[in-house]
Amino acid sequence: MEFLFDLPWMMAAPTLIGAMCLLAIAGLWWFRRHLLPRLVFEDVDSYFSSAMIPSIMVFYGLVMALISVHVWEGNLAAQSITSREATSIAALYRDVSGYPEPARDQLHQAIRDYVNYVIHESWPLQRKGKVPSGGVELVDRIQEILMGFEPATEGQKVLTAETLRAYNVMVEARRLRLDAVDTHLPGVMWCVILFGAVISFLTSYCFPVTDPRVHFTLVTLLAAFVGIILFLIVELDRPFRGDLAITPRSYQLVYDHLMKP
């Protein structure tokens, strides 16, 4: 299913919804042709089926709702991490503006280089699901300059401590962002989603609907709804992939407002 995460949403939505509808329709056609004529439904059987099918649908709906909330919260957490890193970079850039020369220009240039790397090199790799590793040297360069500066006054000591704090926040947020690149639902949860959909379709077949057109219409609507929820989960499962992926807008704003010559 990896290719689904890279499809534009205008293609991913019809693909998932269409696949669910085709699966449901094909299963219903086979069921009505080969199994349904052999089944005998009495009044008690109809009551039992009427009770069982909503129970299965409710449990499956709860599972899908919980999974949807989980991936949405993960997506929001990744957005918060990127915003935190961009904010810490802005704070660090402003803090080093109080450093004397040549440390100030060196730090400004090192921070600009890092932001440029994040926007133009790191983000395209994240969009492909790859964890970038090229920013380590740039971060080490910033740390090297910071650690090499010797404050001469009490004010510079306070400024140095605040700058190091902002730098540590940036490093922590960077690490969390890289970890979030590989965040996704485990395979067992995808099995629950897909097998749950199949079970839901099977239970919807077990009604002796006289008019097959009504039966096919209702099952198709059920499959389309399952496909919509599945599309939502796919689009939100990988925070940095797909059309709804997190963009480097926060970093670009920091660069344009503070660092752009």
Distance CA 63, CA 223 (A): 16
Residues 233-256 have pLDDT tens digits of 988 888 998 788 899 999 999 999
Q: Between residues 183 and 82, which one has the greater pLDDT?
A: 82
pLDDT over 90 at 128, yes or no: no
Q: Helix, strand or coil for residue 261?
A: coil
Tracing tokens 């749950």 back to the chain, one arrives at 196
Distance CA 148, CA 227 (A): 57
Q: Which of 99, 137, 140, 97 is nearest to 121 (CA)?
A: 137
Please state whether the predicted TM-score (pTM) of the whole model is above 0.75. Answer: yes
Residues 133-144 have pLDDT tens digits of 888 999 999 999
Residues 63-91 have pLDDT tens digits of 888 999 999 999 999 999 999 999 999 99
Angle at alpha carbon of residue 169, lines to 167 and 171, rounded to 5°: 70
